[in-house]
């Protein structure tokens, strides 16, 4: 059902927990399945220096959070905004069709966190 990469990221998630010095946070959820994803970013000079997450959800939600945070580290915020859920799915070697929404949550959490950062930077 799940690829080896999904199972690896689920069993040994990367970047799990709250960053101590984050300056952006985005939280999204799916009322249908109950998954909740919170993404923390440390952004300096429009570059994502660090990223972490806290996710309450299934195996696919945790794996999507883990791989997404790996993917965006070192990206500019504009590059990270271009990351699509399909990129997360590809990085995990696929997700079952009923679990694609987990990759969508990862994409949305990144966008919310960047939106949060930009709101704070404008003040």
> Residue 39's domain is classified under what CATH number?
3.90.1010.10
Q: Specify the pLDDT at position 122.
A: 54
Please check whether residue 80 is in contact with residue 57, taking contact to mean a CB–CB distance below 8 angstroms: no
pTM: 0.94
Cα separation, 6 vs 60, whole angstroms: 7
Give the residue carrying structure tokens 């995990």. Answer: 92
Mean pLDDT of the chain: 95
> pLDDT of 75-106, one tens digit each?
999 999 999 999 999 999 999 999 999 999 99
Q: Which residues are catalytic?
A: 33, 102
**Structural domain count, the chain:** 1
pLDDT tens-place string over residues 34-78: 899 999 999 999 999 999 999 999 999 999 999 999 999 999 999
Distance CA 16, CA 34 (A): 19
The pLDDT of residue 121 is 64
Residue-level pLDDT at 33: 79
Helix (H), strand (E) at residue 26: strand 24-29
- The answer to whether residues 114 and 26 touch, using CB atoms and an 8 Å cutoff, is yes
* Contact residues for 110 (Cβ-Cβ < 8 A; gap 6+): 26, 39, 41, 68, 72, 80, 81, 83
Q: Look at residue 71 in the predicted model and tell me its pLDDT.
A: 98
Contact 68, 106 (CB under 8 A): yes
Nearest to 105 by CA among 58, 73, 70, 45: 58
Structure tokens at 17: 């927990």
Domain coverage including residue 92: 4-121
Instruction: For residue 60, count other CB atoms closer than 10 A to its CB.
Output: 28
């Amino acid at each position: 059902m799940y690829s080896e990469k999904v199972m690896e990221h689920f069993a040994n998630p990367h970047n799990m927990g709250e960053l101590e010095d984050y300056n952006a946070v985005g939280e999204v959820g799916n009322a249908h399945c109950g998954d909740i994803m919170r993404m923390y970013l440390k952004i300096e000079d429009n570059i994502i220096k660090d990223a972490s997450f806290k996710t309450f959800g299934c195996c696919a939600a945790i794996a999507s959070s883990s791989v997404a945070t790996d993917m965006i580290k070192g990206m500019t915020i504009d590059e990270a905004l271009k990351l699509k859920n399909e990129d997360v799915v590809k990085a995990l070697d696929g997700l079952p069709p009923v679990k694609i929404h987990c990759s969508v949550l990862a994409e949305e959490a990144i966008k919310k966190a960047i939106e949060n950062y930009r709101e704070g930077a404008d003040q």
